[in-house]
Structure 1
Amino acid sequence: MNTKYINLIDQTFYFPQEEFNLKGDQLTFHDINLMQLIEKYGAPLKFTYLPKISENINKAKKWFAAAIEKHQYQGNYNYCYCTKSSHFEYVLNEVMKNEVHIETSSAFDINIVENLKKNGKITNDTYVICNGFKREEYIHNIARLINEGHQNCIPIIDNYEEVDLLSEEINKNYEIGIRIASEEEPKFEFYTSRLGIGYKDIVPFYNRDIKDNKKVTLKMLHFFINTGIRDTAYYWNELVKCLKVYVKLKKVCPSLDSLNIGGGFPVKNSLAFEYDYQYMVDEIINQINITCEKAGVEVPNVFTEFGSFTVGESGGAIYQILHQKQQNDREKWNLINSSFITTLPDTWAISKRFVMLAINRWNDEYERVLLGGLTCDSDDYYNSEQHMNAIYLPKFKKNKPLYIGFFNTGAYQESIGGYGGLQHCLIPQPKHILIDKDEEGNIVTSLFSRQQKGEDLLKILGYNE
């Protein structure tokens, strides 16, 4: 009988895969021996595999280059990294090795941009696309960046007042974009995004507030939908509506030469994941080409803002199964030595799926389980609602430690989880490991942050001076 964990994976999915393989009965990730990582650093731990960031950036560049050549597209392509997915310096340092641009969403993002400029990571030629609702400090920081010579900083106007607010602080001519308030998918509880300006209001807004403003030049139209870039009737319908606005606006605004289609490329969330990235890029470029040709206007330069796609597949989390509880005839709970709420908050908040696999004991028999965290909160679990299907793992044995890994967790989890701060039930934040390759292609690891200690949490709480 095929009762081993390796048999289950093999008969359920195509395995091995590009990033996952076996060494004996132990899982490897991009040829990284995960058990060696555990033996060196212990568990729980989080890790970031830096080369994956550059790999995904260059994949997207190749997809767009191929589509531009195929459709004889006359505009160019610009890859922007969406910083809110992960603001860490080690992420931005890896991102900026690849001649890409930056998208910001709040005031302190500009401080990061200035730090990167100071350290030679970006130049005045780097586009800084400033999204989000702009409060006083954000306006002030954008103005400072432009006033100090960064002409490729483009604030994306989110509401009617922002042009006047920016003009009060910027002491030279500057370029802007306008964000479209897209209509949300029918399942949403509201019809129109709170972000941006409505489709029908954009051309009147331009004619009223921008056209005769000699200080301001409209360069970009910005389009983004919450569900991301997916092959659905909803996505294509919204893209067509966006393109209609673009050609209408282009006819009255010759300076408009760029279309920002935002982000939303999906991240692999199971071994059964399928998505034809090249097809989607081909069709987006084709649709833009066709629409502009019919309208008799020049095609725009295309910008994207990929955040999760850039960093998501670089991250992982490793836990040990501490204990098993048989709570009734059907349910076995495997308790991890950490918490899902604190370390992978998207599993709890939005039932986010990640790739989850056993790291060792692949030749052992398997069993169906539920996974629970250490907090005293009933929501601290990961089960078939978050996973692709029921969770099976090698059978729990007290004398044979079992480790599990969650993969492609590199986007948002640290910022949403409150990195470096208090955690629910004071569960400590695990250590974080950076994984890179040296010039010879050998794997090298380093400790970015140690696991929180009691005194760290007491200091935050005010108990220690």
Structure 2
Amino acid sequence: MNTKYINLIDQTYYFPQEEFQVEDGDLQFHGIDLMELVREYGAPLKFTYLPKISENINRAKKWFAEAIEKHNYQGSYNYCYCTKSSHFEHVLNEALKNDIHIETSAAVDINIVESLKKSGKITDDTYVICNGFKRDLYISNIARLINNGHKNCIPIIDNYEEIDLLSEAIDDKFQIGIRIASEEEPKFEFYTSRLGIGYKNIVPFFNKQIKDNDQVELKMLHFFINTGIRDTAYYWNELLKCLKVYISLKKICPTLDSLNIGGGFPVKNSLHFEYDYEYMVDEIVNQIKLACEDAEVDVPNIFTEFGSFTVGESGGAIYEILYQKQQNDREKWNMINSSFITTLPDTWAISKKFVMLAVNRWNDEYERVLLGGLTCDSDDYYNSEQNTNAIYLPKYKKEKPLYIGFFNTGAYQDTIGGFGGLQHCLIPQPKQILITKNKKGEIKTSLFSEQQEPKDFLKILGYK
């Protein structure tokens, strides 16, 4: 009778998978012995597997290179990393090994760019695409970067006032982009994005504020879909609407030569995950070329802004099951030694699912459970693994510690959770581990930050 946890996973999913294998009853992630991590550093812990960042960047660059060659596309491709997904230096250092560019969203991002330039990680040839709603500090930081010689800094105009604000702060001529305020999917609570300028208003805006402005040169049209790049009628319809705007602008603005298709690729959130990245890239390149050929205008250089896709699949978190509470005749609560609200806030805020698996005891029998966090908040729980509508884990046994892992958590969770600051119910931030590979392919780990201590909280709160 197949009652072991490994039997359940094998029967439910195609397993093992590229990043997951099991050896002697313990889970391996990209060849990393997760139980060895636990033995060395303890749990809870969060880790970042840095090589996955470079791997995903180069996967995307390969897909676009192949599509461009296949369709004889005459424009270039430029990969941008959205810093807001993870601002950590080790993430940027890894990403920038791969000849990429940067997309920013707020004022302090420019300070990070300047630090990276000073250390030689970014050059004047690196595009810095400045998105977001811009006011005083962001405007002045962008202007300082451009005035200091970074001509490949392109502010993306989000509203009608930003050109005037930038013109006052920037000494010489500068390039800009315009963000399209795309229409949202019907299920959204609003019809049009709050960011950017409406489709119908972009050409009149160009004619009024840019066409005769000798200081400003329009280089880029920015198109962003909140739900990301997906094979849906909604996405393709919005892309075609964007291309109509690009074509209309291109015919009256020869300097326009770039199209930024913001909105990223999805990140694997289940062992059932399927997404044909190569098909989507191929079809995007094909649709852009066909639309431009039909209108007899030059195709644009393509920019993409991948944040979660770049860094998401590099991250993970490991917890220990502290205790099991039998609350009624059907529900068993496995209590983790941390909090979902503080360490994986998207599970609480937007009911996001991550890949969740037992780290050890795969050869033990399994049971159905609920997962609860340590805070006294009733929302501090994780209720189901996507596609199975339940959580199954090896049976809780006090004398046999059980560890569980959440994977592909590398985007947003630390910044949304307030890394290094106050945590809900003052649950400590876990240890952070960095994982790399040397030239021989050997796994190397290092401690990035210790778990928070009571004195850290007291200092923030003003206690002596």
TM-score of the alignment, normalized to the shorter chain, above 0.5: yes
Q: Partner letter of residue 225 of structure 1?
A: I
The aligned residue for residue 147 of structure 1 is 147
The aligned residue for residue 361 of structure 1 is 361
CA contact (8 A) 1:342 1:424 kept: yes
Q: Partner letter of residue 175 of structure 1?
A: Q
The aligned residue for residue 426 of structure 2 is 426
CA distance, structure 1, for counterparts of residue 346 and residue 387 of structure 2: 12
- Relative distance call for 1:317 and 1:444 in structure 2 (3 A) is same
Report the secondary structure of 2:303's partner residue.
strand
Q: Deviations over 1:82-131 (max 9, x none)?
A: 00000000000001000000000000000000000000001000000000
CA contact (8 A) 2:227 2:263 kept: no
The aligned residue for residue 198 of structure 2 is 198
Q: Deviations over 1:131-188 (max 9, x none)?
A: 0000100000000000000000000000000000000010011000000000000001
Residues 207-222 of structure 1 mapped to structure 2, 5 A cutoff? 207-222=207-222
The aligned residue for residue 40 of structure 1 is 40
CA contact (8 A) 1:354 1:387 kept: no
Q: Partner letter of residue 120 of structure 1?
A: G
The aligned residue for residue 252 of structure 2 is 252
The aligned residue for residue 223 of structure 2 is 223
CA contact (8 A) 1:351 1:385 kept: no
- By how many angstroms is 1:388 displaced? 4.8
Q: Deviations over 1:333-376 (max 9, x none)?
A: 00000000000000000011100000000000000000000000
The aligned residue for residue 271 of structure 1 is 271
CA distance, structure 1, for counterparts of residue 12 and residue 64 of structure 2: 33
- By how many angstroms is 1:190 displaced? 0.5
Q: Partner letter of residue 22 of structure 1?
A: V
The aligned residue for residue 370 of structure 1 is 370
Residues 17-32 of structure 1 mapped to structure 2, 5 A cutoff? 17-32=17-32
Q: Partner letter of residue 246 of structure 2?
A: Y
Q: Deviations over 1:210-266 (max 9, x none)?
A: 000001000000000100000001100100000000000100101000000013200
CA contact (8 A) 1:353 1:387 kept: no
**TM-score, normalised relative to structure 1:** 0.99
- By how many angstroms is 1:385 displaced? 7.2
Identity of aligned residues (%): 81
The aligned residue for residue 344 of structure 2 is 344
Is the aligned partner of 1:283 residue 2:283? Answer: yes
The aligned residue for residue 389 of structure 1 is 389
The 4+ residue runs of structure 1 with deviation greater than 3 A are 385-388
CA distance, structure 1, for counterparts of residue 455 and residue 386 of structure 2: 34
CA distance, structure 2, for counterparts of residue 405 and residue 388 of structure 1: 17
- By how many angstroms is 1:23 displaced? 1.1
The aligned residue for residue 307 of structure 1 is 307
Residues 88-237 of structure 1 mapped to structure 2, 5 A cutoff? 88-237=88-237
- By how many angstroms is 1:441 displaced? 1.2
Residues 307-346 of structure 1 mapped to structure 2, 5 A cutoff? 307-346=307-346
| RMSD (Å) for aligned C-alpha atoms | 0.7
CA distance, structure 2, for counterparts of residue 316 and residue 334 of structure 1: 19
Q: Partner letter of residue 251 of structure 1?
A: K
CA contact (8 A) 2:184 2:192 kept: yes
Report the secondary structure of 2:48's partner residue.
strand
CA contact (8 A) 1:105 1:132 kept: yes
Which shifted more, 25-34 or 377-386? 377-386
CA distance, structure 1, for counterparts of residue 441 and residue 5 of structure 2: 31
CA distance, structure 1, for counterparts of residue 386 and residue 16 of structure 2: 23
CA distance, structure 2, for counterparts of residue 388 and residue 451 of structure 1: 33
The aligned residue for residue 454 of structure 1 is 454
The aligned residue for residue 72 of structure 2 is 72
CA distance, structure 2, for counterparts of residue 412 and residue 90 of structure 1: 15
Q: Partner letter of residue 69 of structure 1?
A: E
Q: Partner letter of residue 299 of structure 2?
A: V
Q: Partner letter of residue 392 of structure 1?
A: Y
CA distance, structure 1, for counterparts of residue 456 and residue 122 of structure 2: 35
Report the secondary structure of 1:268's partner residue.
coil
- By how many angstroms is 1:31 displaced? 0.3
CA contact (8 A) 2:385 2:391 kept: no
Q: Partner letter of residue 288 of structure 2?
A: I
CA contact (8 A) 1:351 1:386 kept: no
Report the secondary structure of 1:186's partner residue.
coil
CA distance, structure 1, for counterparts of residue 385 and residue 164 of structure 2: 48
CA contact (8 A) 1:259 1:302 kept: yes
Q: Partner letter of residue 108 of structure 2?
A: F
CA distance, structure 2, for counterparts of residue 366 and residue 312 of structure 1: 29
Gaps of 5+ in 1: none
Gaps of 5+ in 2: none
Report the secondary structure of 1:261's partner residue.
strand
Q: Deviations over 1:299-327 (max 9, x none)?
A: 00000000000000000000000000011
Which shifted more, 439-448 or 54-63? 439-448
- By how many angstroms is 1:389 displaced? 2.3
CA contact (8 A) 1:356 1:405 kept: yes
Q: Partner letter of residue 36 of structure 1?
A: E
- By how many angstroms is 1:193 displaced? 0.2
Q: Partner letter of residue 240 of structure 1?
A: L
CA distance, structure 1, for counterparts of residue 135 and residue 186 of structure 2: 30
CA distance, structure 2, for counterparts of residue 329 and residue 388 of structure 1: 21
Q: Partner letter of residue 455 of structure 2?
A: E
Report the secondary structure of 2:224's partner residue.
coil
Report the secondary structure of 1:97's partner residue.
helix
Q: Partner letter of residue 136 of structure 1?
A: D
Residues 399-414 of structure 1 mapped to structure 2, 5 A cutoff? 399-414=399-414
Q: Deviations over 1:32-78 (max 9, x none)?
A: 00000000000000000000000000000000001101111000000
CA distance, structure 2, for counterparts of residue 156 and residue 124 of structure 1: 18
CA distance, structure 1, for counterparts of residue 23 and residue 384 of structure 2: 28
Report the secondary structure of 1:223's partner residue.
strand
Q: Deviations over 1:366-419 (max 9, x none)?
A: 000000000000000001276752100000000000000000000000000011
CA distance, structure 2, for counterparts of residue 387 and residue 168 of structure 1: 54
